[in-house]
Structure 1
Amino acid sequence: MITKLGLIVKYPGLALAFVSSCCFAFSGPMAKYLIAAGLAPIEAVWTRMAGAGVLMVVVLALVKPRALRIPRSRLPFFAMYAIVAVAAVQSLYFVAITRLPVGIALLLEFMAPVMVVLWVRFVRRVRLARAAFVGAITAVAGLAIVVEAWQGLRLDALGLLLGLLAGACCAGYFLMSDSFGDDVDPLGLIGWGLIGSAVILVPFARPWNIPWDAFTRTVTPSAGAHTLPVLGAYLWMVLIATVVAYILGVNAVRRLTAAVGATVASLEVIGGAVVAWALVGETLGVFQIVGGLIVLTGALLAQTATEQRPELNTKPSPDDLEQPVSVV
């Protein structure tokens, strides 16, 4: 126990990323209750984003209104965050699973850690520790085992493209969460991002057609699953799997870097499998357990790269002090 507490104190970003992935893991299982009650998947996504966005904006307006201020120069960034980091990830994934097995689509989306590592290294030209590369590849390999990617594989060109685009947008979430400056409040970014994504998804979700009476029901999504009130499942999905998950996730990426944060976030798939096993009675087999251990290994490897993060070493050397400073 002392060792675990020591790791959390030493790596607070890792602790935030781990808890965030656990919170995100509830999104899929809780959405199953909404879908079992009569909502379409895209309708469940829209109610999640709209509810979480409204909640965050209202609370911030009351307790921290300055967080909602958007610098005019940052409007394009906020718009891209809502479109790419929130709305596109959700919508592209749900379209992809109409053409690909769910496991394959999930694996393509969570190619994000590798995409982030490649972007940071070759586009941002930031030298990364070898652990970041090895951890990302190990995590993706573990995910392939978890989703049993070799079963039911059928190559659909459009589905493959959509799945990869979902992965690229997921990578964009981590990269954008790592790149904004002090003029942007993370809470305001998340709140407006959720609201913006809900607005973008209105033509697809058509909220005026949502069967709102479904939230008054109590359902059992499958044999062996726990029976829960739909409204309770929805509130948990909004509060824990969205608001808390995004807040912790963005702050974790700010501490860990995008490359490490994306790899640790892949634990969401494992957490989702465990929650689905506990709540909705889905089988947790040998492949899920073995693959989960491999993903965990990749995440632990990646977090060792935080020790070599150059931004953390802000103390100037004597040689640096002797160099002239150029202000652009």
Structure 2
Amino acid sequence: MSTSRSTGASAATLGIWLGIVSAATSSISGPMARSLTDAGWTPAALTIARALGAGALMLVPAVVMMRGQWELARHESGRILLLGGVGVAGTSVCYYNAITLLPISVALLIQYSAPVLVLGYTSVRRRRVPHRTTLTGVALAMLGLVLVVGVGGSGDTDATGLIWAACGSVCFATYFVASEAVSPDLPAVAVTAAALLVAGVTVGAVCLTGIIEATATTRAVELASWSMSWIWPLALLVVVATVITYTASLVSVSILGARVSSFVLLSELAFAVLTAWALAGETPRWMQLVGGAVLVGGIVLVRLGDAEAQHTGLLEPDPVE
């Protein structure tokens, strides 16, 4: 029994570290994307290039690692379609539209209310009333969001940008739920490649209908006061902020479950503040910093309430807990 607990603890530690790696690499997505949108790229074009580029890079190792598991992949195809079409494509398009209208830190903070949505979904699915600590955390998180978006503040927020960020939060929550639902027996690299290719094709198909526009340019971009070729930020976006981020994230979710991994990935907020300041020259207002702290504190309480509910048997534990 002690060996089993030790193994579970080791797996949980690995899942947490992979979640942190995913958060750190994902944090450069905003500044890279902002530099490209400022140069004339549309959010849809960015999503297509990012998803198809990363999916293509991972395709050969994904096929090799499948090793006769194609029947399982067919069985999981519906979940993979949801993961790619909504979890990846929806999150990316919404986020990139949001950062064209909002500071990167604000867009991320709103999007990272997703853990509260995940917890709400799992509570409804299991027909369990959240613990009182959880409800307190949700209230704090909502207060934090109000402070972050600057209600009654200096007016540097945009209503359309807030809507895009909120939609991104819903898609991001879907990403966690769909990731947990996909069989852990499928290689993470294969699932990631499939989801990314689905995302790229989905956005491309929507663009063909004329609902959204995909435009890319070859103009030089400005990043951290440096002028450079568009290839460099796009390469970092594809390799670091997509291949590494999504692979590490999927493994983390398969180990920790949707609820826990969604809270671990909140560490991206800290990384994102640093990268947005260093690479995009964004210094958040003090009210946004306070709101961010309140938001994170609220989500920590949500996690603590979840843990207390598991301890008292009111909520089934995640796989490693």
TM superposition score category, shorter chain reference: 0.7 to 0.9
Amino acid at match of 1:77: R
Q: Which residue in 2 is equivalent to 1:66?
A: 67
CA-CA distance at 1:138 after TM superposition: 4.4
Contact residue 264 and residue 299 of structure 1 kept, 8 A: no
CA-CA distance at 1:101 after TM superposition: 5.3
Q: Distance in 1 between matches of 2:115 and 2:257?
A: 11
**Residues 74-110 of structure 1, C-alpha deviations (whole Å, 9 max, x = no match):** 2222222221111122234455678x75687655533
Please tell me whether residue 257 in structure 1 is matched to residue 262 in structure 2: no
1:27 to 16, 26, 29: 29
Q: Which runs of 5+ in 1 are unaligned?
A: 1-6, 315-328
Contact residue 46 and residue 202 of structure 1 kept, 8 A: yes
SS at match of 1:282: coil
SS at match of 1:116: helix
SS at match of 2:126: coil
Larger radius of gyration: 1
Amino acid at match of 1:109: Q
**Residues 144-183 of structure 1, C-alpha deviations (whole Å, 9 max, x = no match):** 4444354436767xx8766544322211111111222244
Q: Distance in 1 between matches of 2:139 and 2:247?
A: 26
The verdict on how the C-alpha distance between 1:248 and 1:71 changes in structure 2, with shifts beyond 3 A counting, is: closer
Amino acid at match of 2:235: L
CA-CA distance at 1:51 after TM superposition: 1.0
CA-CA distance at 1:126 after TM superposition: 5.9
**Residues 210-232 of structure 1, C-alpha deviations (whole Å, 9 max, x = no match):** 54534xx4x325xx634444322
SS at match of 2:183: coil
Map 1:93-172; keep pairs closer than 5 Å.
93-94=95-96, 108-125=110-127, 138-139=140-141, 141-151=143-153, 152=155, 163-172=165-174
Q: Which runs of 5+ in 2 are unaligned?
A: 1-8, 311-315
Q: Distance in 2 between matches of 1:9 and 1:72?
A: 28
Q: Which residue in 2 is equivalent to 1:281?
A: 281
Amino acid at match of 2:43: P
Contact residue 136 and residue 302 of structure 1 kept, 8 A: yes
Q: Structure 1 vs Structure 2: percent identity of aligned residues?
A: 29
Q: Distance in 2 between matches of 1:34 and 1:302?
A: 36
SS at match of 1:235: helix
| TM-score (normalised: structure 2) | 0.75
Contact residue 110 and residue 266 of structure 1 kept, 8 A: yes
**Residues 259-317 of structure 1, C-alpha deviations (whole Å, 9 max, x = no match):** 23223323334422320101122224423443444455456556655695724579xxx
Q: Distance in 2 between matches of 1:226 and 1:130?
A: 50
Q: Distance in 2 between matches of 1:295 and 1:116?
A: 15
Q: Distance in 2 between matches of 1:273 and 1:238?
A: 21
Q: Distance in 2 between matches of 1:195 and 1:187?
A: 12
| TM-score (normalised: structure 1) | 0.73
2:317 to 301, 310, 323: 310
The verdict on how the C-alpha distance between 1:250 and 1:79 changes in structure 2, with shifts beyond 3 A counting, is: same
CA-CA distance at 1:197 after TM superposition: 0.7
The verdict on how the C-alpha distance between 1:11 and 1:82 changes in structure 2, with shifts beyond 3 A counting, is: same
Q: Distance in 2 between matches of 1:12 and 1:130?
A: 30
The verdict on how the C-alpha distance between 1:66 and 1:8 changes in structure 2, with shifts beyond 3 A counting, is: closer
Contact residue 19 and residue 265 of structure 2 kept, 8 A: yes
Q: Distance in 1 between matches of 2:60 and 2:275?
A: 30
The verdict on how the C-alpha distance between 1:92 and 1:313 changes in structure 2, with shifts beyond 3 A counting, is: closer
Q: Distance in 2 between matches of 1:48 and 1:311?
A: 32
Query: Aligned-pair RMSD on alpha carbons?
Result: 3.7
Q: Distance in 2 between matches of 1:67 and 1:287?
A: 54
The verdict on how the C-alpha distance between 1:250 and 1:155 changes in structure 2, with shifts beyond 3 A counting, is: same
Q: Distance in 2 between matches of 1:168 and 1:107?
A: 13
Q: Which residue in 2 is equivalent to 1:225?
A: 225
Range moving further from structure 2, 120-129 or 40-49: 120-129
**Residues 234-275 of structure 1, C-alpha deviations (whole Å, 9 max, x = no match):** 211111111111112222222332223223323334422320
Q: Distance in 2 between matches of 1:160 and 1:36?
A: 19
